[in-house]
Structure 1
């Protein structure tokens, strides 16, 4: 019988391209991964890996077994979820991840509620970018996550992921208080052309979305300040150096010298929960219920 640990090691090598990378993901030593793979090759009786230069490559048999291994691991995870569902107590460990702005505002409240409602549940959290969170969910490193998306930038998602829209986060424009348009009730993006922009770094999702959005509305932005944090971008705005687009979930603290004004037509990003289809444990459902309640309260509160 093939051992699950050996199957898991092969799948990790297939997903990450090397024994060293697989070892990091599995939290074992590279020699441990190599030993598992050697045992697996002995069990199946055919080579699964071949040396190519300084790296390795899966043989046809290795690719086939890795594909079937993903299915086996998914079935095992589903079975564990179904067995756990028979127990009415929410316990064990729940690993949550989220984009930074949602993590700062929502996740602390969610964890506090989960601890109060389910004392036997241990919750761990890590903040990350959407592009890194989704692969972590696929690898089963994360059970439940909050990620961002934009209707104008559709994202390809793996088939084994459940992606549920949970909140629409309005995006406003941040202007220096002494800007001529700072007293407006609403602003057209085409009106703002006199100052450079502060936004996230090139290649990050929000940076790409800002460029796409502004150019679609006739603005060719001068992005002079690439700052990977909305709070820091607001400091550039407060000093009259830039303008910025800031989601309302990210507005933990706003400097006195900054005016935040709605944009017409309205801008928004979508917040989604993400989990694997085969991970429907009671702890994941409890996390979903708490997050849904928090976002429902945010949606029902007056706009800041």
Structure 2
């Protein structure tokens, strides 16, 4: 009566909170997903979620199916991974580096799940390549890079992970904290705190400042997100950071976030790998685990399918 595809759909609904996002995450259409849910409800004999609720609220039957999905799907994934492990006998080290230094919030749980699924693959972080890791991938010193930068190449594959909103972070007492959104001109008299990378690689420059031919009054580079936030709270500058990286601090009243532009600024995150490696079973598993864990652990992120 209940199929694996139904469990995947129920879990996607719980994770994303909407039919549209679930369809995007499952690489199908909202109408096809709606038809599948109606078919499942016909088999169950009752609705499994309440219509027109945001986020989606499940009925008792839906909650039971969700519990089943949470119990069964990880076991299926684990079994499939272990079968592939036995068949391919993949051994070795997955050397990775992170250009997004706010990513540890979701990457550590993802690595833990990956280790359970692929115990024969040793994960190793390379701290030599900080903020600019693609040369390490090019030279063969790295196997995978978490990055926001992509480019056309036959040699590299950029696996889309998720998209998220970049926001301006200020102290609660900062004059810009009262604005509904930030324009490029708002930053011309500000000290902008950034990671130590070229401004051309930073979204706030690429999509806001440079198109408006504007520059902040001063730029200070800081290599740690926590230090950036501490400097922001002390009114030593403002910063553009992922919204999910500062939610906890804003809830505590330590900082204030403001939208960058009236429509907001969306950024994207990818896993870069050499094209010839992208179809390896454990690499595909790393991609899928990273997507699922980030969606579960981070607020205000959406699936990125390209």
Distance 1:145 1:292 in 2: 15
Query: What are the ranges of 5 or more consecutive residues in structure 2 without an aligned counterpart?
Result: 1-83, 302-306
Offset from partner CA, 1:236-257 (integer Å, 9 cap, x none) = 2211222221123543863744
Q: Which moved more, 1:214-223 or 1:276-285?
A: 214-223
Q: How does 1:181-192 map to 2 (within 5 A)?
A: 181-192=176-187
Q: How many angstroms does 1:217 deviate by?
A: 3.5
Distance 2:143 2:89 in 1: 18
Q: Which moved more, 1:281-290 or 1:96-105?
A: 96-105
Query: What are the ranges of 5 or more consecutive residues in structure 1 without an aligned counterpart?
Result: 1-83, 150-154
TM-score by length of 2: 0.58
In the other structure, the counterpart of 1:290 is 289
In the other structure, the counterpart of 1:148 is 148
Q: How many angstroms does 1:173 deviate by?
A: 0.4
Question: Structure 1's 100 and 176: CA in aligned 2 closer, same or farther, altered over 3 A?
Answer: same
Question: Structure 1's 223 and 206: CA in aligned 2 closer, same or farther, altered over 3 A?
Answer: farther
CA RMSD of aligned residues (A): 3.2
Of the candidates 238, 243, 249, which is equivalent to residue 233 of structure 2? 238
Q: How many angstroms does 1:213 deviate by?
A: 2.5
In the other structure, the counterpart of 1:258 is 255
- 2:101 aligned counterpart, secondary structure: helix
Q: How many angstroms does 1:286 deviate by?
A: 2.0
Question: Structure 1's 235 and 199: CA in aligned 2 closer, same or farther, altered over 3 A?
Answer: same
Distance 2:203 2:285 in 1: 34
In the other structure, the counterpart of 2:93 is 93
Q: How many angstroms does 1:233 deviate by?
A: 2.2
Q: How does 1:263-274 map to 2 (within 5 A)?
A: 263-264=260-261, 265-274=263-272
Distance 1:291 1:214 in 2: 31
In the other structure, the counterpart of 1:275 is 273
Question: Are 1:120 and 2:120 matched, yes or no?
Answer: yes
Rg comparison, structure with higher value: 1
